[in-house]
Structure 1
Amino acid sequence: MSKYESYFLMGVEDAAEYVKEKLPSFQKGAVLSCQEIGDGNLNYVFRVKDARTGTSIIVKQAGEETRISREMKLSTDRGRIESRILRLQAQSAPGMVPAVYLYDSVMCAMLMEDMDGHTMMRTGLMNHEIYPLFGEQITDFLVNSLLNSTDVVMDHKAKKERVREFINPDLCEISENLVYSEPYVDYNHRNNVFLPNAEFIEKEIYEDKELRLEAAKLKFDFMNHAQALIHGDLHTGSIFINQEHLFVFDPEFAFYGPMGYDVGNIIANLFFAWCNGDAVIDNEGEREKFCGWVLQTIEEIVDKFILKFKKAFMERAADLMAKTEGFLDYYLESVLSDTAAAAGLESIRRIVGMANVKDITVIADERKRVRAERIILTLAKDYVKNRTSFKCGKDYLESIERAVSQYR
């Protein structure tokens, strides 16, 4: 009898044995080593490698509680959702997500392709690496993975079945709390605020009634707008990248929601990288090169997303009414508004909420960190309050310049 016939949380030795049992190709003569490599808040991730052949594989197991708070209990069904969406995204965006070899509903574990030769993008950006192809690649992924899952393209009954398949209440609740509620009202008393900015945050975030109202509106849009099958947590820690290629992974927050949520998260996290580079790169030329590339890439992502989305919409729209003159512009306008809103919400929650972002927390100079956080929050408020005015990449650069200019 296999010890993997009932659920338990695996350790390093268990994960190596698990691979041997589940994948026969690893059995004969395999000399396996295993290390845990996960640095996220929710799951346990192991790399199992055959020293004889150099072949490696990833084991990802869902735990029953988060790694940052034992009070936050989670359904392990998120592993099924993740494995399923990765397979769907592989169809829409071939080669841009890791291959899934097996999902085990008993152990709530997935065996998947090792993204060897790639670096987590957040790590690369904090080392001030430049990725010239990123704007082109990520917009391909966004347009293809999002639009193909909508009523515009899919049979409506099939889409409704998929909405039901991807109901993800536990992970959605985390977003509803950590992104849309707690940064504005710290009712769970777990926001993690940088003390030198506490007074600023009190005034600019907690006491801003207009901002809170807009966040409330956006929260209910997020909960009720089943537009597309979104990744749900698409930041630079959810991308592995090198100079030629990228993988998007870790879509366990996936559900049917507003597609601008994914696009906006990318924009916000790129600007965190700008703030890090601006604060910690001493050489002026290197700083200008890196930060200039980040801004150029934000503009590129917005503009290329618009162009590619329009082209794909015209080619793939299957619903008769979606082909009505003017509907594409109406539809895209709402996506762009949601994109700006999501960029603002992600920016605020990473500064004010419980899950701060490393790009900012590693800034050792207190004065520079204070400045970076204030720029981010000022920019975020513009994104949220004026979201309908962000219609192209230039609009983002102008908003960034306005925010930065206040703290020179």
Structure 2
Amino acid sequence: MYSTHFKLDIKDIPAYVEEKLHFFGKTEGLEISELSDGNINYVYKIFDREKNSSLILKQADVVLRSSGRPLDVKRSEIEATMLQIQHKLAPEMIPEVYLYDPAMSVTFMEDVSEYKNFRYEMMDRQVFPSFHKQIINYFSKTALGTTDLILNRAEKKANVVKFTNVELCDISEDLVFTEPFNNYKGRNIVTEGNEEYVQERVYSNLQLVSEAMKLRYNFMNNAQALIHGDLHSGSIFINHNGIKILDPEFAFYGPIGYDIGNVIAHLIVPAMVCQVTDEESETKDNFINWVASTVPAILYGFEREFKKSYFDSVQEEVAKNEMFVDWYTRQIVADAKGYAGLEIIRRVIGDTKVKELETIVDHNQRLTVERKLIELASRLIINREEPGTDLHAFLSALNS
């Protein structure tokens, strides 16, 4: 019955679970609720109240939910495989996969309901003093271990083929790297009143466009490590004990700095929104100060921890040359700054917005936030390789 893909409805799930996964022992009385919050997948929580046990079922469909456009379900296999690989490298931060069903493009995985969506927590101005240590730990454990500095070179090349993610990389190459700088598909959404600003500061800024294209080229050709590929704050779940990283369906072999830059961008955006829109309060000050210290702590803490992991883990003597390691890590940090800028600009100009911007009620405040973000993002992109480009100084300018 389940040998050919079809989209599961809630009523189909109990029988499907009973056949595929003996997790609950019975399927009568299971409580099933849909948690889907995106455009390309269906997510359900299945709960046995009697045993107080639960799991998540995630299914990839063959079409986009919004438009009905066909989309290859290979992304589902990539996501499940990525979770399994990263769970071995960082089990405390990656949900466990119980079963992957390739015919139905379904992943059964650990329920992480005790963690909350990081985006919404920041929108509530919550602060997490240990987040920089946790995300650095994630990057240090998962990135280096998938490079050919650790893996056998043949194994790494085979992984590059396995994780060739054509359709979803194409989405990123358009929405992140191309359309924000050349609206050739006419899909950009520029806030009314910022049209001339965007034309002058982005579309007609030849230096900015040139640097963005360099970063795009790096994204498309630098198969450095197995990366998440879409590590925004909605893919991070958090509490005061730790984090869980979810939804790596955009995973592929790319530059390590891309994931780091995405995390940084999605800290900067809510901080800028808070600075412009929130009334003066202790909560506002605490949130701004937390972001202003967390962003550089991630960048430069990563550099320290990555080097330590490098010398502890890399076995090839010629690769342990200190000058090479310094260059390697500096390039990752520079990439991270540049990719942070690109992610910010595409969320301001592109057609895929974030709730932090969409929920700004006052039109003039939104114009101000977007202009400040574009200015900061442009500096990050253009000056990314300058050692003095300190993000703490940039974020301190939030209060100016």
TM-score (norm 2): 0.96
Question: Is residue 117–residue 234 contact of structure 2 (8 Å, CA) maintained in 1?
Answer: yes
Q: Which amino acid aligns with 2:22?
A: P
1:310 and 2:307 matched = yes
Three-state SS of the structure 2 residue aligned to 1:351 is helix
1:396 pairs with 2:396? no
User: How far apart, in 1, do the equivalents of 2:155 and 2:202 lie?
Assistant: 41
Deviation digits for residues 112-136 of structure 1 (CA, Å, limit 9, x no counterpart): 1111111110011111111111111
- Matches of 1:97 and 1:31 in 2, distance apart? 29
- CA offset at residue 399 of structure 1? 2.6
Alpha-carbon distance between aligned partners in 2 of 1:336 and 1:17, rounded to the nearest angstrom: 49
Take 1:105 and 1:96, find their aligned partners in 2: how far apart are those partners? Answer: 24
Amino acid at match of 1:6: T
Whether contact under 8 Å (1:317, 1:323) holds in the other structure is: yes
Matches within 5 A, 1:4-403: 4-28=2-26, 30-71=28-69, 73-390=70-387, 395-402=390-397
Preserved CA contact (<8 Å) 1:74 1:170 = yes
Does the 8 Å contact 2:292/2:396 carry over to 1?
Answer: no
Q: Does the C-alpha gap of structure 1 residues 230 and 381 become closer, same or farther in structure 2, counting only changes over 3 Å?
A: same
Q: CA offset at residue 215 of structure 1?
A: 1.4
8 Å Cα contact 1:30/1:52 also seen in 2: no
SS at match of 1:196: coil
Q: CA deviation at 1:25?
A: 2.9
Contact 1:126 1:276 in 2 (8 A): no
Q: Is the 8 A contact 1:86 1:97 kept in 2?
A: yes
Does the Cα contact within 8 Å between 2:180 and 2:346 map onto a contact in 1? yes
Structure 1 residues 28 and 16: alpha-carbon distance in aligned structure 2, compared to 1, 3 A threshold? closer
Mapped partners of 1:69, 1:208: distance in 2: 33
Gaps of 5+ in 1: none
Confirm or deny: 8 A CA contact 1:74 1:171 kept in the other structure.
Answer: no
Q: Would you say the 8 A contact 2:57–2:109 is kept in 1?
A: yes
Q: Is the 8 A contact 1:58 1:111 kept in 2?
A: yes
Instruction: State the secondary structure of the residue aligned to 2:194.
Output: helix
Q: Are the structure 2 counterparts of residues 208 and 9 from structure 1 closer, same or farther at C-alpha, using a change threshold of 3 Å? A: same
Q: Which amino acid aligns with 1:11?
A: D
How far did residue 257 of structure 1 move? 0.4
For residues 294 and 380 of structure 1, the distance between their equivalents in structure 2, rounded to whole angstroms, comes to: 16
CA–CA distance in 1 between the matches of 2:223 and 2:207? 26
Distance 2:143 2:130 in 1: 20
Query: For 1:397 and 1:273, how far apart are their aligned partners in 2?
Result: 16
* Separation of aligned partners in 2, 1:325 and 1:300: 23
Residues 320, 28 of structure 1: alpha-carbon distance in 2 compared, 3 angstrom cutoff: same
Deviations 1:40-97 (A, max 9, x none): 23211111112322211111111223334434x3210111111111111111112101
TM-superposed CA distance for 1:29, in Å, is 6.0
Cα deviation 1:287-332 (Å, max 9, x = unaligned): 1011111111112111210110110011111233211231101111
> Cα deviations across residues 3-30 of structure 1 (Å, max 9, x unaligned)?
x221111222223432232222324264
SS of 2:193's partner is: helix
CA contact (8 A) 2:15 2:27 kept: no
Letter in 2 for 1:218: L
DSSP 3-state at the match of 1:387: coil
| Contact 1:267-1:298 at 8 Å conserved across structures | yes
Note the alpha carbon deviations across 1:357-382, whole angstroms, 9 max, x for none: 11111111112211111111101101
Distance 1:204 1:64 in 2: 39
Inter-partner Cα distance in structure 1 for 2:221 and 2:239 = 37
- Structure 1 residues 390 and 92: alpha-carbon distance in aligned structure 2, compared to 1, 3 A threshold: farther
TM-score (norm 1): 0.94
Query: Greater shift after overlay, 357-366 or 18-27?
Result: 18-27
Q: What is the distance in 2 between the residues matched to 1:118 and 1:94?
A: 15
Matched to 2:6, the amino acid is F
SS at match of 2:126: coil
> 1:5 corresponds to which letter in structure 2?
S
Q: CA deviation at 1:390?
A: 4.9
Q: Secondary structure of the equivalent of 2:99?
A: strand
SS in 1 for 2:390: helix
Alignment RMSD, CA only? 1.6
Distance in 2 between the 1:153 and 1:129 partners? 37
* 2-structure distance, mates of 1:50, 1:325: 54
Deviation at 1:221, TM superposition (A): 1.1
Q: Matched residue pairs, number?
A: 400
Q: Name the stretch that deviates more: 16-25 or 374-383.
A: 16-25
Contact 1:275 1:360 in 2 (8 A): no
User: Amino acid of the residue matched to residue 17 of structure 2?
Assistant: V
CA drift of 1:400 comes to: 3.1
Identity %: 38
